């Protein structure tokens, strides 16, 4: 249970026609006293532009699942309009390399499918772009690909205890 992050154990959940990833997330957030608001869409949200039709684009964050050269997962949380800096992340972690996780790795490591990964998931090693903290709230993946969730950035820090630094670039 590294770094005191509560376990979610969603890795064994099988996707269904009407998925329950967001329900599991809601239970976790409620049980950990995390203020949250789900934002539902009628179709999968695949781009910042789609999400920005309902929410403020500058508040959207991406929860990016990566794998280091040792095969260990790491979660990078960055503003949606920025890209992760592989160079900065490698230096921060002290590893030879990092790469994006495959879709199967995203689900097995985080417990959520690609496109629905929230900041709160099964990955214990978390890096947070310091710019995310300029907003009181952040809007992230909501568990299912047709949902986003708004949470307080202070709760991201309180629950995940991430390493905070500049890990992205324009």
The whole-angstrom separation of Cα 17 and Cα 122 is 23
Classify residue 38 by burial, with Cβ atoms within 10 Å: 0-12, 13-18, 19+.
middle
Indicate the pLDDT class of residue 164, thresholds 50, 70 and 90: very high
* b (16+ CB within 10 A) / e for 93-131: beeeebeebeeebbbebbbbbbebbbbbbbbbbbbbbeb
Mark out the alpha helices in 16-118 (DSSP H runs).
21-31, 48-51, 86-93, 103-110
Pairing of strands 144-152, 36-40: antiparallel
pLDDT digits (tens, 9 = 90+) for 71-124: 999 999 999 999 999 999 999 999 999 999 999 999 999 999 999 999 999 999
Structural fold of domain 19-169? YbaK protein (3.90.960)
Mean pLDDT of 17-31: 86
User: What pLDDT was estimated at residue 8?
Assistant: 52
List, in sequence order, every residue forming a beta bridge with 163; answer none if it has no partner.
127
> Is the separation of the CB atoms in 105 and 67 below 8 Å?
yes
**Terminal C-alpha separation, the chain:** 34
Q: Scan for tokens 């300029």, then name that residue.
A: 134
Residue 10, pLDDT > 50, answer no
**What is the model's pTM?**
0.88
Residue of 152, 126, 124 whose CA lies nearest to 7: 124
Where in the chain are the domains?
A: 19-169
Sorted by sequence, the CB contacts under 8 Å of residue 25 that are 6+ apart come out as: 8, 112, 118, 120, 142, 143, 149
């Amino acid at each position: 249970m590294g770094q005191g992050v509560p376990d979610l154990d969603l890795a064994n959940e099988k996707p269904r026609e009407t998925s329950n990833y967001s329900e599991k997330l809601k239970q976790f957030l409620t049980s950990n006293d995390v203020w949250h608001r789900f934002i539902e869409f009628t179709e999968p949200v695949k781009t910042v532009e789609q999400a920005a039709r309902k929410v403020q684009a500058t508040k959207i964050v991406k929860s990016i699942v990566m794998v280091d050269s040792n095969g260990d997962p790491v979660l990078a949380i960055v503003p949606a309009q920025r890209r992760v800096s592989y160079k900065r992340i490698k230096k921060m972690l002290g590893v030879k390399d990092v790469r994006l996780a495959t879709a199967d790795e995203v689900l097995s490591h985080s417990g959520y499918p690609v496109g629905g990964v929230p900041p709160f998931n099964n990955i214990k090693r978390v890096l947070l772009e310091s710019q995310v903290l300029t907003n009181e709230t952040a809007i992230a993946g909501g568990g299912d690909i047709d949902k986003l969730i708004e949470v307080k950035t202070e709760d991201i820090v309180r629950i995940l205890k991430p390493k905070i630094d500049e890990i992205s670039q324009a």
